[in-house]
């Protein structure tokens, strides 16, 4: 028996069937009393990643008492979903989750403005409006909403603390020279050595000292100020290259998770939806060699056994992505996984959807790095060889959801179709 055949047999032996939500039982057992469950995805445009995360989220809420969903999305946009969950029954002006999700206007819109998330949000709202259930919460963890968060801060201060408006206006005017263009601000700090760091720190201090209103309003205002502070640092470091901007972003997301958990009290349990590159522990990839950290690593270091990391991957299918940043979204074919990758190994070992529980796996042959596919919002299927992250799978995740064939998700907005012949029934060998 060859080494590859031995690996295939080992993987096949520990792979659980995965056809219905009931087959998630081994993963629910693994979660146990964990406080944070992080659910990954190998792309931001694959339907099955969203539908299986929804199935697991529903079971974690109903059977394990989880009450918070936090996603790789912008804080102000996700706050609209949060308000819809909490106030939807009393606010007939909101027609439904589809209308709320259409407000996600920053590219890539399809990440959250899609039919799969509509179904998740409508279920969360239905659960939240039942009298015997704990209302659910929905938050965004990301850092990109510099201008939107500034607008939210000014609106809040006008209502609740007008004496603090001068600090907000000073920060707004500092950024204003770049006409709401974060990248232009980044290049300004690079060439002119002018930045707005002191203004945003002053504004954050002002809000912390003077914030008023309900606890929820104060929490929202302070988080928008933290987004502003950390987004300023992110864009300022982005143009300098290196790992700093990535680390600012993932540290911000991890700190936001900690703030959300603290806000909801000791009993709060949080589900996270984000890309595998944020969820899977960076120490067991080549990210560590480049000095990069991520949410999964930081949360494991801080919280230990309170954290469960679940990765997702697939062998072949289609995806929604763009050819470049801000390009129209397209439905693209995803070729069969590269030879020697984890995805190809799993395809050969099991050939159908499976759930793998990786905790405690110590077989030496499975603890060596292999390529693990990672598709971003910008994707070129013809350059597939560059989309793999060397990964020690049983250490990067506690569990792994393997899906043999997947399809593109369903955006709420119009999407460019596959070109004729782009997704043949059988891909050419060597792709």
Burial (CB count within 10 angstroms: exposed 0-12, middle 13-18, buried 19+), residue 123:
middle
pLDDT digits (tens, 9 = 90+) for 159-210: 888 888 888 888 877 876 555 566 666 666 665 556 788 888 888 888 888 8
> What is residue 187's predicted lDDT score, i.e. its pLDDT?
62
In terms of Cα–Cα distance, which of 393, 292, 431, 357 is closest to 42? 393
- Kindly state the percentage of the chain with pLDDT values over 90: 66
User: CA dist 60 to 28, 66, 124, 266, 270, Å?
Assistant: 7, 6, 12, 17, 10
Q: How far is CA 230 from the centre of its chain?
A: 18
pLDDT digits (tens, 9 = 90+) for 320-359: 999 999 999 999 999 999 999 999 999 999 999 999 999 8
pLDDT digits (tens, 9 = 90+) for 48-74: 999 999 999 999 999 999 999 999 999
pLDDT digits (tens, 9 = 90+) for 275-307: 999 999 999 999 999 999 999 999 999 999 999
For the entire predicted model, the pTM comes to 0.92
In terms of Cα–Cα distance, which of 222, 281, 246, 260 is closest to 35? 260
Does the pLDDT of residue 29 top 90, yes or no?
A: yes
What would the mean pLDDT of 235-263 be, rounded to a whole number? Answer: 92
What would the mean pLDDT of 17-41 be, rounded to a whole number? Answer: 97
Among the ranges given (66-75, 91-100, 418-427), the one the predictor scored with the smallest mean pLDDT: 418-427
Q: How far, in Å, CA of 251 to CA of 231, rounded?
A: 12
DSSP state of 48: H
- Among 90-99, 154-163, 179-188, 385-394, top mean pLDDT goes to 385-394
């Amino acid at each position: 028996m060859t080494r590859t055949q031995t690996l295939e047999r080992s993987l096949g032996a520990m792979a659980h069937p995965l056809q219905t939500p009931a087959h998630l039982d081994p993963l629910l057992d693994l979660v146990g009393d964990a406080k944070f469950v992080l659910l990954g995805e190998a792309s931001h445009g694959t339907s099955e990643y969203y539908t299986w995360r929804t199935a697991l989220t529903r079971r974690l809420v109903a059977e394990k008492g989880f009450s918070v969903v936090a996603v790789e999305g912008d804080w102000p946009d996700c706050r609209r979903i949060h308000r819809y969950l909490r106030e939807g029954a009393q606010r007939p002006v909101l027609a439904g989750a589809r209308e709320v999700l259409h407000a996600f206007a920053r590219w890539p819109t399809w990440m959250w403005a899609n039919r799969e998330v509509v179904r998740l949000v409508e279920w969360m709202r239905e659960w939240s409006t039942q009298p015997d259930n704990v209302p659910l919460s929905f938050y965004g963890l990301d850092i990109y909403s510099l201008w939107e968060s500034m607008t939210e801060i000014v609106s809040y201060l006008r209502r609740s603390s007008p004496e603090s408006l001068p600090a907000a206006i000073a920060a707004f005017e500092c950024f204003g020279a770049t006409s709401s263009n974060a990248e232009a601000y980044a290049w300004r700090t690079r060439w002119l050595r002018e930045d707005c760091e002191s203004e945003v720190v002053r504004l954050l201090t002002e809000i912390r000292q003077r914030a008023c209103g309900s606890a929820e309003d104060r929490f929202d205002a302070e988080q928008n100020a933290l987004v502003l502070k950390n987004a300023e640092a992110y864009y300022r470091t982005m143009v300098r290259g290196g790992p700093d901007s990535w680390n600012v972003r993932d540290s911000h997301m991890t700190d936001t998770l900690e703030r959300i958990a603290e806000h909801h009290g000791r009993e709060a349990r949080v589900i996270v939806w984000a890309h595998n590159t944020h969820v899977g522990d960076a120490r067991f990839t080549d990210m560590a060699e480049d000095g990069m950290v991520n949410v999964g690593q930081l949360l494991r270091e801080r919280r230990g056994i309170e954290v469960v990391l679940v990765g997702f991957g697939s062998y072949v299918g289609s995806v929604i992505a763009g050819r470049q940043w801000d390009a129209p979204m397209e439905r693209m074919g995803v070729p069969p996984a590269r030879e020697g990758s984890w995805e190809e190994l799993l395809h050969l070992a099991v050939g159908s959807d499976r759930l793998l529980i990786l905790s405690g796996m110590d077989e030496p042959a499975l603890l060596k790095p292999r390529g693990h596919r990672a598709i971003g919002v910008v994707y070129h299927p013809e350059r597939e060889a560059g989309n793999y992250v060397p990964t020690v799978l049983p250490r990067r995740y506690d569990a792994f959801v393997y899906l043999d064939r997947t399809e593109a998700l369903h955006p709420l907005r119009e999407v460019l179709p596959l070109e004729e012949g782009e997704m043949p029934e059988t891909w050419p060998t060597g792709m």
